[in-house]
């Protein structure tokens, strides 16, 4: 695998953190930029809000290359909910899965599609490019998102590409296709069942009909869509279950492996349903997910 020249991409402290898998697996989470400074596509500046990053929570459980979940927190494309990012990563770490949390660009900072998709795609490519450094199995790189983060995850599941073999940046030569997806009470559609705030932050006040159609991701499921685990609460008033059901139906029609779980309850954004560090009594979806991951040979 081609190795990136980190000295041109990261400061010395980050370079030191990226060398030596054993040390990294025992270290605190490390945050790295997805692009070199000044090269983020469509960036409005170089401030923190303009700089997509990955925060790498590496698991010290198990042996050999580990699966990794790129985690996209929700927040209506206007904020990022830490309990749908860091908490998920820490929970997955206990199961021998690395959890890498993406800070993607937001509508509240003036960004619109496709900036968010560019960030998610770059994150998956970045993980594969750095698989050796982080003890990652490049064939087990998943995407996981909640609410609007679930919309972004479902967008990448249905809008991925194989990479550009002629790209100057070796990261961009790699595939952005996740190996599986986990969609938690996800926004899927930009149509009647969409979440209005997420759609506005993603597409603006007057989105084109073509954009609404293209980013209603139930319309973009194909036989090349990766396996998906979906779950929602039946009475979720913020993001109706019709979103998850539409994506599951599209997967069934395209013969894409999936599981759909609907649970009693109505609060939106419950995350694990438990708080760290112990995660005592997490919601039932977590155990259903772990069982499904075992069928996918991730555990």
How many CA atoms lie less than 13 Å away from 107 in the CB half-sphere? 21
Span 14-22, average pLDDT: 42
More confident site: 7 or 90: 90
The 66-72 sheet, strands edge to edge: 30-33, 53-57, 98-103, 66-72, 136-146, 181-184, 228-233, 258-263
Write down the pLDDT at residue 27.
61
235 three-state secondary structure: coil
Whether omega before 254 lies within 30 degrees of 0, making that bond cis, reads no
Span 27-52, average pLDDT: 94
Task: Please say if the pLDDT value at position 19 is more than 90.
Answer: no
Polymer length in residues for the chain: 299
More confident site: 62 or 118: 118
Q: pLDDT tier at 9 (50, 70, 90 boundaries)?
A: very low
Chain segment 205-260, per-residue pLDDT in tens: 999 999 999 999 999 999 999 999 999 999 998 999 999 999 999 999 999 999 99
Give the separation between CA 149 and CA 242, rounded to whole angstroms: 17
From residue 1, how far is each of 60, 181, 272 by CA, in Å? 24, 25, 36
pTM of the model: 0.91
Write down the pLDDT at residue 275.
83
- Among 5, 156, 164, residue whose Cα is nearest residue 141: 156
Q: pLDDT tier at 58 (50, 70, 90 boundaries)?
A: very high
Write down the pLDDT at residue 28.
86
Please report the sign of the dihedral spanned by the C-alpha atoms of residue 176, residue 181, residue 185, residue 188: positive
Q: What is the DSSP letter of 217?
A: G
Q: pLDDT tier at 179 (50, 70, 90 boundaries)?
A: very high
Task: Please say if the pLDDT value at position 13 is more than 60.
Answer: no
Ordered by start, the domain boundaries in the chain are 6-37+45-295
Question: Token pair of 34, please?
Answer: 């997805």
**CATH of the structural domain 6-37+45-295, one choice from 3.40.50.1820, 3.10.20.600, 1.10.3720.10, 2.40.10.10:** 3.40.50.1820
Please report the sign of the dihedral spanned by the C-alpha atoms of residue 87, residue 88, residue 91, residue 94: negative
Q: pLDDT tier at 278 (50, 70, 90 boundaries)?
A: confident
Give the separation between CA 247 and CA 154, rounded to whole angstroms: 9
Question: Token pair of 100, please?
Answer: 């890498």
Q: What is the DSSP letter of 49?
A: G
Task: Please say if the pLDDT value at position 99 is more than 50.
Answer: yes
- Among 291, 107, 59, residue whose Cα is nearest residue 182: 291
Give the separation between CA 298 and CA 92, rounded to whole angstroms: 11
- Among 130, 129, 153, 128, residue whose Cα is nearest residue 139: 128
Task: Please say if the pLDDT value at position 53 is more than 70.
Answer: yes
Write down the pLDDT at residue 18.
42
Other beta carbons within 10 Å of 223:
7
Least confident of 6-20, 80-94, 145-159: 6-20
- Among 193, 156, 183, 189, residue whose Cα is nearest residue 261: 183
Give the separation between CA 203 and CA 216, rounded to whole angstroms: 12
Q: pLDDT tier at 299 (50, 70, 90 boundaries)?
A: confident
Give the separation between CA 156 and CA 29, rounded to whole angstroms: 25
282 three-state secondary structure: coil
């Amino acid at each position: 695998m081609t190795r990136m020249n980190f000295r041109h991409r990261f400061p010395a402290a980050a370079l030191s953190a990226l060398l030596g898998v054993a040390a990294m697996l025992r270290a605190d989470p490390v945050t790295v930029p997805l692009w070199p400074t000044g090269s983020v596509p469509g960036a409005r500046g170089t401030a923190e809000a303009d700089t997509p990053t990955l925060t790498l929570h590496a698991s010290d459980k198990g042996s050999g290359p580990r699966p990794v979940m790129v985690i996209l927190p929700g927040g209506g494309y206007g904020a990022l909910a830490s309990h749908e990012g860091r908490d998920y990563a820490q929970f997955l770490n206990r199961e021998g899965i690395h959890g890498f949390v993406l800070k993607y660009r937001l509508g509240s900072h003036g960004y619109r599609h496709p900036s968010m998709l560019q960030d998610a795609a770059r994150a998956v490519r970045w993980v594969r490019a750095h698989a050796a450094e982080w003890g990652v199995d490049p064939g087990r790189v998943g995407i996981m998102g909640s609410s609007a983060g679930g919309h972004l995850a479902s967008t990448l599941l249905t809008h991925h590409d194989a990479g550009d073999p002629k790209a100057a940046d070796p990261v961009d030569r790699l595939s952005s296709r996740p190996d599986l997806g986990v969609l938690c009470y996800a926004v899927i559609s930009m149509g009647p069942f969409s979440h209005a705030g997420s759609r506005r932050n993603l597409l603006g006040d007057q989105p084109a009909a073509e954009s609404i159609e293209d980013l209603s991701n139930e319309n973009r499921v194909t036989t090349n869509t990766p396996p998906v685990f979906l779950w929602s609460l039946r009475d979720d008033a913020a993001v109706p279950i019709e979103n998850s059901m539409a994506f599951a139906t599209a997967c069934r029609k395209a013969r894409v492996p999936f599981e759909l779980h609907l649970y009693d309850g109505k609060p939106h954004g419950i995350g694990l349903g438990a708080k760290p560090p112990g995660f005592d009594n997490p919601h039932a979806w977590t155990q259903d997910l772990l069982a499904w991951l075992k069928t996918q040979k991730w555990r």
